[in-house]
């Protein structure tokens, strides 16, 4: 394949990637978006394999076979509830790939037309440095995010005195080693810079609590894109530059949307340590009066309503309750009940987590609405059914300026005529504060595993 034909192929692949992102903006077109992205990637891989610079295919096909087999195995076995961990793990691999490619370019610059070892031009060293720093932070930060999401180290922020000063010192050291590396081209400074960046990724994610994981996931997604784009400049690969920039910019926009959904800035997320599971309120929580009910009570209420709004949260994902919810949806629809779903931007452990689970269960897209579209309808709703959500339904976010979540946009379920709240206990959410909704006169608490409680409600309705 001639260089001109390779360039045209890369252009076509880039266009398909852009169309893929456009398709992923809506659940209705998401499948088509995925197919367009797959087509673009196939074109990019084939064009790269047929380019004149590729002369040895053994290692390439070996890597494709191993990577493809692992990816297929994971895709067949992964459950929807574990997607956040999977995404964090994949982000880490993109970051690590950026560091490894930069290392290869440093030690074998003649292969990429960058000069000779020890005599690489400064512009290439700058590009190499940026890709390495962002890639290393993405790798180690994503690994820590994975361990938090998997529950290996717990979801609470891990804080110690002087942590922010230490992170600041490491950031300055990374910049200093980068300057030395660009000026001297010596490989020792490259590895010092990479090592510090790996450590910085660990230290920057450890203080972040479970409540901020949706922002962390989208932020690391953005970092992985910028790392790939930086290495694209080093290799003079236009496709890598474009696709990396697409991933980086879309991840940055998504991070902004997540922060807006929490009424917090990105710096607040990175430095705030939000997400302590607050234990101080637990001592007096049980003393406050609540209205606890049974599945039969909930079924009686649902048998006599005209409208229902379901608010899913991470508790639904943990209990794998989405299919039971879909069955409840079908039963209520058959009774001519107007039933819809209200999705908060930061519900779950990754952006769109609840949308993915409901789509898996077959809930119609038109009945799944975002916060801005449905919040004004709660006051005219007979029953709001909250399933494992917590902070995103806490009315204190609107009323108490001293609360850590004050100003955060929340779903106004407290304005419904009745609230059915399925939860294992009265424990606070990731923000570590009590949910005032538990104690409202119009709230009935249904304690237990979400799937079992919904199944019991279905039996009572039958």
Of 244, 251, 200, nearest to 221 by C-alpha is: 251
Residue with tokens 């929490």: 262
Kindly state the helix (H) or strand (E) to which residue 115 belongs, with its residue range: strand 115-116
Residue 414 a catalytic site member: no
Encode pLDDT of 292-313 as tens digits: 999 999 999 999 899 999 999 9
Q: Which residues of 387-421 are buried (b: 16+ CB within 10 A; e: fewer)?
A: bbbbbbbbbbbeeeeebbbeebbbbbbbbbebbbb
Among 268, 382, 391, 441, the active-site one is: 391
pTM confidence score: 0.78
Encode pLDDT of 265-299 as tens digits: 777 676 655 554 433 344 344 578 899 999 999 99
Residue with tokens 């452990």: 349
Encode pLDDT of 190-225 as tens digits: 999 999 999 999 998 888 876 677 788 888 889 999
Encode pLDDT of 137-178 as tens digits: 999 999 998 888 887 876 667 777 887 788 889 999 999 999
In the numeric block, which tokens belong to residue 397? 């976010």
For the range 40-43, what are the long-range contacts, defined as Cβ-Cβ under 8 Å and sequence gap of 24 or more?
Answer: 40/12, 40/13, 40/14, 40/15, 40/16, 41/13, 43/9, 43/12, 43/13, 43/16
Q: How far apart are CA 273 and CA 319, in angstroms?
A: 27
Q: How far apart are CA 321 and CA 346, in angstroms?
A: 19
CA distances from 309 to 327, 332, 439 (A): 15, 11, 20
In the numeric block, which tokens belong to residue 180? 């030395």
Q: How far apart are CA 450 and CA 443, in angstroms?
A: 17
Q: What angle do CA 448, 454, 460 make, to 5 degrees?
A: 110
When mean pLDDT is compared over 53-67, 229-243, 276-290, 446-460, the highest value belongs to 446-460
């Amino acid at each position: 394949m001639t260089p001109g034909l390779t360039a045209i192929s890369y252009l076509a692949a880039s266009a398909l990637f852009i169309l893929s992102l456009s398709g992923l903006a809506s659940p209705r077109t998401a499948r088509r978006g995925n197919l367009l992205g797959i087509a673009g990637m196939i074109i990019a891989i084939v064009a790269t394999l047929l380019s004149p610079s590729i002369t040895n295919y053994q290692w390439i096909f070996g890597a494709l076979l191993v990577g493809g087999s692992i990816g297929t195995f994971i895709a067949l076995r992964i459950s929807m509830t574990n997607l956040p961990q999977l995404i964090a793990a994949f982000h880490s691999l993109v970051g690590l790939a950026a560091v490894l490619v930069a290392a290869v370019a440093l030690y074998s610059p003649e292969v990429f037309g960058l000069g000779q070892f020890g005599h690489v031009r400064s512009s290439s060293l700058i590009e190499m440095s940026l890709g390495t720093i962002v890639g290393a932070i993405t790798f180690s930060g994503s690994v820590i995010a994975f361990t938090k999401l998997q529950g290996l180290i717990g979801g609470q922020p891990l804080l110690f005195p002087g942590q922010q000063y230490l992170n600041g010192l490491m950031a300055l050291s990374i910049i200093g080693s980068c300057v030395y590396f660009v000026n001297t081209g010596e490989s020792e400074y490259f590895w010092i810079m990479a090592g510090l960046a790996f450590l910085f990724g660990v230290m920057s994610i450890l203080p972040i609590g479970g409540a901020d994981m949706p922002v962390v996931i989208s932020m690391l997604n953005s970092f992985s894109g910028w790392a790939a784009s930086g290495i694209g400049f080093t290799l003079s690969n236009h496709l890598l530059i474009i696709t990396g920039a697409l991933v980086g910019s879309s991840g940055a926009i998504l991070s902004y949307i997540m922060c807006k959904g929490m009424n917090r800035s990105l710096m607040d997320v990175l430095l705030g340590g939000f997400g302590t599971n607050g234990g101080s309120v637990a001592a007096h929580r049980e003393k406050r009066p609540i209205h606890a009910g049974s599945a039969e009570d909930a079924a009686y209420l649902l048998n006599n309503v005209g409208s229902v709004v379901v608010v899913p949260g991470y508790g639904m994902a943990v209990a794998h309750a989405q299919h039971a919810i879909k069955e409840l949806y079908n039963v209520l629809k058959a009774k001519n009940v107007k039933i819809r779903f209200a999705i908060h931007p930061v519900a779950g452990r990754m952006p769109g987590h609840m949308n993915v689970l409901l789509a898996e269960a077959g809930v119609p897209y038109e009945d799944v609405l975002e916060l801005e579209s449905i919040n004004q309808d709660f006051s005219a709703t007979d029953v709001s059914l909250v399933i494992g959500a917590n902070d995103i339904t806490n009315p204190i976010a609107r009323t108490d300026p001293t609360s850590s979540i004050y100003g955060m946009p929340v779903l106004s379920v407290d304005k419904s005529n009745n609230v059915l709240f399925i939860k294992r206990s009265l424990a606070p959410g990731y923000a570590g504060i009590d949910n005032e909704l538990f104690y409202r006169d119009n709230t009935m608490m249904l304690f237990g595993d979400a799937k079992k409680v919904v199944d019991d409600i279905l039996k009572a309705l039958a």
